[in-house]
Structure 1
Amino acid sequence: MTDDTGDAAGDDPPTSDAAGDDPPSSDAAGDDPSVRDDEATADLSLDRFHEALEAEERPVATASEVARRLGTTQAAARDALATLVDRGDVDRIDVETDPVVFYPSDWGRLATRERIVAFPDRREIVVDRSTQFTRARLSQFAYLVDTTGTEPGTRGYLYRIRQEDVWAAPFEDADALIASLRSVLPRRYEHLEEWIRDQWRRAHRFRLYSHEDGYVVLEAANENLLGNVADQHLDDDHLRAPISETEAWVNESAVAAVKRALYDAGYPVEDDRDLETGDPVDIELTTDLRDYQETWVETFLDRRSGVYVGPPGSGKTVAAIATIAAVGGETLILVPSRELADQWRAELAAHSTIDPADVGVYHGGTKEVRPVTIATYQIAGMDRHRSLFDSRKWGLICFDECHHVTAPVYSRTAELQSKHRLGLSATPVRESGSEEEIYTLIGQPIGADWDALFDAGFVQEPEVEIRYVPWRDELARNEYASADGRERRRLAAENPAKIDEIRSLIATHRDAKALVFVEYLDQGEVIADALDVPFVSGETPHRERRQLFRRFRAGSDAGTDSDDDRVTAGTDRDDDPDAAGTDDGLDALVVSRVGDEGIDLPNAGLAVVASGLGGSRRQGSQRAGRTMRPSGSALVYVLATRGSSEEEFAQRQMRHLARKGVRVRETNVAE
């Protein structure tokens, strides 16, 4: 072969994956005789070209960029690219602001392949067209930050490896974790692996254990840790006395505070205390678990603590009941409201063999302490009731809607310690960013990827649409323009044009039961009057509220087990005084924040968020979750006044859902 580049490309392309069987002459390699063109050409397969594009983080690359990424000369890279062009694997184009650039010819082939790009310095991993294997592996040690795309199989995923993810990774040692990481990434990243090993060591530096004389001991891996880290970050009243150079006697009432302080310092504490499980509880699960629920329970039993994180309808409550049965000891269930306490009692009856006499409810109206006790956070956190809960040897404490734990009024309940601590939440995110505190006080997250549940059909993925509503009332528009601050926010939320939009949406989806969410009571009354439907708020008496929810359920598939994790079985009991006279159904309800969580409100086929967009990301998830169920349509419309701060609030809430794989679209409503 001569040094003519046309001969190097050849009219008759070679059949091997290499750029050619006959190497071009060394002249093509430029002035550096140490670089042989046949080696450079052989290295440049289509896959190697893809790697160069990934390294450049661009869809196209010049010959010089390919040469730099593959460690060869520009001339050799150019010749090899010419061969790929002739084979039809790569196309080239001349652009005005750049030299000749090359890109894959068959983008369809590229698009159907899984692509994984690691950014080790940021500890981030981007996966396009991910396989179930890759996502399952990454979920063991990485946090899903964001998703892109709309259809299953086309989404891109952004993962971040945080220190708390390494601390909670379900592996016997750091080598097993690193092996799992290497099975996913295209190559090894020494710096990232060393950081992971360091975090793993941190997670095994301190532990709590029970001394044979009954008190709690904090043990450090070495003298320096106890003398420096512990002394620096723990308060004087946390430790009662030193025992040895690596051990100290812990004040019993300060166990939770010790764990939190050391976690904040970057040293999660292993809790190996021999805590009591209480008297045995006779309970067995009567409902079959899905595979992922079984995994949740198995993982929890291995760790003895954790938070089940999954969308409404994924069966967190049933999984929690299965956990209660597996632990088999006295259980305290903490909930944010009286309504939710009553629902838990019904759920236990519906899904287990527990004797109703063994279930007690402890709140403002009823105070029963039984082997399984359901109490509100507020009551359990009060000083005059704490001694009662402290004196019980709970084998399991279950924190339902556990994002409440970090709120000041409820935080004292987290000081209650038990052998097992379980949290439940659709999304434990709080706007203060205190989800780490939740994991410190209760446990690390355990849960399925929302997107995986959608793809598997366990939960119907909601279709979320933000609809930007214009001002149609000139007086309302002018009033908004002249207002400021909080008043502007309220006026945007109460835009009168939203009423017509709500009517239109309900008419379009006339076969779906509809929930309309509002932030302001006056607006709720106005919308309810316009639609001629009831309005349920915190001011609605409990008896009337239960009646309205029961009427809303009438005629729907209320017997399913998907109603926001809370089955309606048991709510129409013969001994319920509100059950009579409620056979007339309701197709729509207007609800205030009382509908966000903790009530026996069945799922709807249609949810319209008319106001309340200044709320939290968690609130957006809760409201979208009202439409999640195993079958049927799932529609969420978020109404935002065009040109107001509601636009930003709506996009912020919905971005949180998009990160979980929920499709979100935007529409401008006509004037």
Structure 2
Amino acid sequence: MTDDDELSLSDLYDAIESVGRPHLTAAELSRKTDLTTERAREELERLADLEEVARQDVTSADAVWYPTDLDAVTDRERVVLFPDRREVVVQHADQFTRAQLSQFAHLVDTNRSGGAIYEMREEDIWQAPYDSLEDLIATMRDVFGERSPHLEEWVTSQWERARKFRLYTHEDGYTVLAAESDDLMGNVARQKLDDDALRAPISDSESWVNEEKTAQVKRTLYDAGYPVRDERELDEGEDLDLELRLTLRDYQADWVQRFVEQGSGVFVGPPGSGKTVAAMGAMEAVGGETLILVPSRELASQWHDELILHTDLEESHIGEYHGGTKEIRPVTIATYRTAGMDRHRKLFDERRWGLIVYDEVHHVPADVYRRSADLQGKHRLGLTATPTRESDDEEEIFTLVGPPIGTDWSALFEAGFVQEPEVNIRLVPWGDDSEADEYVSAVGHGRRQAAADNSAKIDEIRFLLEEHPAAKALVFVEYLDQGEAISEALDVPFISGEMPHARREKLFDEFRRSERDALVVSRVGDEGIDLPDAELAIIASGLGGSRRQGAQRAGRTMRPVGDALLYVLATRGTEEEDFVRRQMRHLASKGIRVTESESEVGDVRESTLEDGDADSDTSGGSGTVD
């Protein structure tokens, strides 16, 4: 800036940040802004007249100036880029910045003071949800506030690398792998893939692909650092006349359009964003008989009901195939486990499916579910809020099913389609010394269970429920004993996998109809169950730091109605603290703010114990004197 410019408060904050302490002198401001010392002093005095800065005279030194609102300096968003390491360090990032970063960077770590470290990996650029390289780089510049030629050169190279190979359908009907150059085909594809995958060369840059080995081709080249674009002209299968009875939201229509153009893909969006409805839009667009794969019978029933409600399909068009019933119809809903079994597999293979929908697609990499990915579907659509897997093999999802579509959660929050939850990690003290002693003496799984079963959590849950009396609440547990203890203490039903299916459905229906305002739920509530009006979720114990489960449970509160609250309880000073932070890290990587606090009930309990001990000592002393 020049001497003719007026110093803004933002300019002052920048200068203070550059100095590295929350105050500065007029001379220091001069050096950081290119103002003369006299002009800098005049501007500071002007801001002082506006009561935006204050002055402190220091003996034998120039006066120091500091903002009257020091929190505005200490809590100010900072984004620092280290282009050589491809790392981004952020402090106090707002929702929009975190959501932008989640589009092209991987969250590595966070701390309690609002800081986070992001890393830009090859796969983050390959899978960035942008239509063009220019759009991706524009977002990066917006986040960093500057251009980084070195980093942008690397991003460009990775963007282009993800477009070196493609699969397409030859005019004679067979599948071809095409490389951008002869060298890539000869030195990469033909070196990495055997004759069973690439049956014969067509030209120096093209090869005939064994149709049954397309998934292997894509995975092998992905591992070699070359994602493959799948541009095959896919068979629609038998016709299915389906009409959607509602209008898709703009972003849902965009998902469907991108899916139709690609022929495959995974809708990635928070619970409540309408992935199921968007999938019905894809069914309408494809117009072919559809197989829908789900992880549970509960989700199969839910899909059946949603199809009847939102499409013109009749009951006779929809079949379910699982342990409860076995019907194959133009639209068939089956569980992953059943579809992967040899004795049922032939029935699914005989049908020409125009579309296979993989709901909760993060299950696909698991061995028992993976077999379903080989079914003869021509279009493949995955649905998930949480592609992250603890085995770090989420790339399997995108090679077996398709690339991600629609991963920008921020836009959904801002448009009001999804309520951003308030997520708070609540640290709870031990209920009594004996429980703490049991934890210290335990090892491995026993130590984790001891921290999870901390009886003080029951008081904390009771306190949170009383703090939010109007909220419909879900309390999640990992251990059956803990669920039963909470259920008994709070007089709230406990739903677990041991409960008969009919009884579970009855309780869930009562919750949906607001006939019940609280439930204690085991792992059966993590996915596949529609609980749309849960404004409050309390995680009393989790799966040892599963990022996916943390996001699934948070998702139970992500709905476009009212305020959404998620409390994650962890016993203070135990390994459980690290577990729940890992659970929540995936949510933070999606742009959701996660805070941490001490248990208020715990403070009251400790204060009461101290007072009680004092009273006891006084009483005992008095008794002795008497």
Q: Are the structure 2 counterparts of residues 619 and 475 from structure 1 closer, same or farther at C-alpha, using a change threshold of 3 Å?
A: same
Which of 299, 319, 322 aligns to 2:281? It is 322
Which residues of 2 match residues 170-249 of structure 1 at below 5 A? 174=133, 178=137, 186-249=145-208
Q: Are the structure 2 counterparts of residues 57 and 164 from structure 1 closer, same or farther at C-alpha, using a change threshold of 3 Å?
A: farther
> Counterparts of 1:506 and 1:131 in 2: how far apart (Å)?
29
Moved more, 101-110 or 180-189: 101-110
> Counterparts of 1:265 and 1:80 in 2: how far apart (Å)?
57
Corresponding position of 2:238: 279
> Counterparts of 1:166 and 1:645 in 2: how far apart (Å)?
34
Q: Are the structure 2 counterparts of residues 212 and 598 from structure 1 closer, same or farther at C-alpha, using a change threshold of 3 Å?
A: same
- More helix by proportion, 1 or 2? 2
**8 A Cα contact 2:96 2:410, kept in partner:** no
Corresponding position of 2:40: 84
Q: Which residue identity lines up with residue 18 of structure 1 in the other structure?
A: T
Corresponding position of 1:369: 328
Q: Are the structure 2 counterparts of residues 236 and 649 from structure 1 closer, same or farther at C-alpha, using a change threshold of 3 Å?
A: same
1:661 aligned to 2:624?
no
Q: How far does the alpha carbon of each residue in 1:390-420 deviate from its partner, in whole angstroms, 9 at most, with x for none?
A: 3433332221111111112111222346443
Deviation at 1:334, TM superposition (A): 1.2
Corresponding position of 2:554: 624
Which of 230, 236, 248 aligns to 1:289? It is 248
Q: Which residue identity lines up with residue 667 of structure 1 in the other structure?
A: E
Classify the secondary structure of the residue corresponding to 1:409: helix
1:19 aligned to 2:14?
no
Deviation at 1:267, TM superposition (A): 0.7
Moved more, 596-605 or 281-290: 596-605
> Counterparts of 2:96 and 2:41 in 1: how far apart (Å)?
34
1:614 aligned to 2:544?
yes
Q: Are the structure 2 counterparts of residues 47 and 337 from structure 1 closer, same or farther at C-alpha, using a change threshold of 3 Å?
A: closer
Corresponding position of 1:305: 264
**8 A Cα contact 2:242 2:284, kept in partner:** yes
Deviation at 1:372, TM superposition (A): 1.9
Corresponding position of 2:565: 635
> Counterparts of 1:532 and 1:214 in 2: how far apart (Å)?
64
Deviation at 1:426, TM superposition (A): 1.7
> Counterparts of 1:219 and 1:313 in 2: how far apart (Å)?
39
> Counterparts of 1:172 and 1:611 in 2: how far apart (Å)?
40
Which residues of 2 match residues 561-580 of structure 1 at below 5 A? none
1:487 aligned to 2:450?
no
Classify the secondary structure of the residue corresponding to 1:594: helix
Q: Are the structure 2 counterparts of residues 387 and 212 from structure 1 closer, same or farther at C-alpha, using a change threshold of 3 Å?
A: farther
Q: Are the structure 2 counterparts of residues 99 and 120 from structure 1 closer, same or farther at C-alpha, using a change threshold of 3 Å?
A: farther
> Counterparts of 2:451 and 2:127 in 1: how far apart (Å)?
44
> Counterparts of 1:112 and 1:519 in 2: how far apart (Å)?
36
**8 A Cα contact 1:429 1:617, kept in partner:** yes
Which of 226, 238, 247 aligns to 1:267? It is 226
1:437 aligned to 2:393?
no
Classify the secondary structure of the residue corresponding to 2:320: strand
> Counterparts of 1:47 and 1:467 in 2: how far apart (Å)?
34
Which residues of 2 match residues 540-619 of structure 1 at below 5 A? 540-554=499-513, 556=514, 585-619=515-549
> Counterparts of 2:348 and 2:485 in 1: how far apart (Å)?
44
> Counterparts of 1:502 and 1:137 in 2: how far apart (Å)?
34
Q: Which residue identity lines up with residue 296 of structure 2 in the other structure?
A: S
Q: How far does the alpha carbon of each residue in 1:473-515 deviate from its partner, in whole angstroms, 9 at most, with x for none?
A: 4443433333222222222222233333333333443333332
Corresponding position of 1:7: none
**8 A Cα contact 2:129 2:407, kept in partner:** no
Q: Which residue identity lines up with residue 636 of structure 1 in the other structure?
A: L
Q: Are the structure 2 counterparts of residues 165 and 317 from structure 1 closer, same or farther at C-alpha, using a change threshold of 3 Å?
A: same
Give structure 1 stretches of 5+ with no counterpart. Answer: 1-16, 21-41, 68-73, 557-584
Corresponding position of 2:582: 652
Give structure 2 stretches of 5+ with no counterpart. Answer: 48-52, 607-626
Corresponding position of 1:578: none
Q: Are the structure 2 counterparts of residues 528 and 65 from structure 1 closer, same or farther at C-alpha, using a change threshold of 3 Å?
A: same
Moved more, 86-95 or 282-291: 86-95
Q: Are the structure 2 counterparts of residues 220 and 614 from structure 1 closer, same or farther at C-alpha, using a change threshold of 3 Å?
A: same
> Counterparts of 1:254 and 1:623 in 2: how far apart (Å)?
37
Corresponding position of 1:120: 83
Corresponding position of 2:417: 458
Classify the secondary structure of the residue corresponding to 1:608: strand
Q: Figure out how many residues of one structure are paired with residues of the other and give that number.
A: 592
1:331 aligned to 2:285?
no
> Counterparts of 1:620 and 1:321 in 2: how far apart (Å)?
27
Deviation at 1:183, TM superposition (A): 6.8
Classify the secondary structure of the residue corresponding to 1:611: coil
**8 A Cα contact 2:546 2:583, kept in partner:** yes
> Counterparts of 1:404 and 1:79 in 2: how far apart (Å)?
60
Q: Are the structure 2 counterparts of residues 84 and 115 from structure 1 closer, same or farther at C-alpha, using a change threshold of 3 Å?
A: farther
Q: Which residue identity lines up with residue 197 of structure 1 in the other structure?
A: T
> Counterparts of 1:126 and 1:479 in 2: how far apart (Å)?
39
Q: Are the structure 2 counterparts of residues 623 and 87 from structure 1 closer, same or farther at C-alpha, using a change threshold of 3 Å?
A: same
Deviation at 1:288, TM superposition (A): 2.9
Corresponding position of 2:366: 407
Deviation at 1:612, TM superposition (A): 2.5
Classify the secondary structure of the residue corresponding to 2:367: coil
Which of 291, 300, 303 aligns to 1:341? It is 300
Question: Quick one: percent identity of the two aligned structures?
Answer: 61
Deviation at 1:175, TM superposition (A): 5.5
Classify the secondary structure of the residue corresponding to 1:653: helix
> Counterparts of 1:426 and 1:358 in 2: how far apart (Å)?
28
Moved more, 503-512 or 193-202: 503-512
1:252 aligned to 2:211?
yes
> Counterparts of 1:503 and 1:45 in 2: how far apart (Å)?
49
Deviation at 1:139, TM superposition (A): 7.0
Q: Which residue identity lines up with residue 363 of structure 2 in the other structure?
A: H
1:384 aligned to 2:343?
yes
Deviation at 1:589, TM superposition (A): 2.2
> Counterparts of 1:265 and 1:195 in 2: how far apart (Å)?
17
Deviation at 1:630, TM superposition (A): 1.6
* RMSD (Å) for aligned C-alpha atoms: 4.1
Q: Are the structure 2 counterparts of residues 62 and 194 from structure 1 closer, same or farther at C-alpha, using a change threshold of 3 Å?
A: farther
Q: Are the structure 2 counterparts of residues 449 and 647 from structure 1 closer, same or farther at C-alpha, using a change threshold of 3 Å?
A: same
Deviation at 1:336, TM superposition (A): 0.5
Q: Are the structure 2 counterparts of residues 103 and 667 from structure 1 closer, same or farther at C-alpha, using a change threshold of 3 Å?
A: closer
Q: Are the structure 2 counterparts of residues 529 and 54 from structure 1 closer, same or farther at C-alpha, using a change threshold of 3 Å?
A: closer
> Counterparts of 1:368 and 1:358 in 2: how far apart (Å)?
10
> Counterparts of 1:603 and 1:537 in 2: how far apart (Å)?
20
Could you state the TM-score of these two structures normalised by the residue count of structure 1? 0.76
**8 A Cα contact 1:217 1:247, kept in partner:** yes
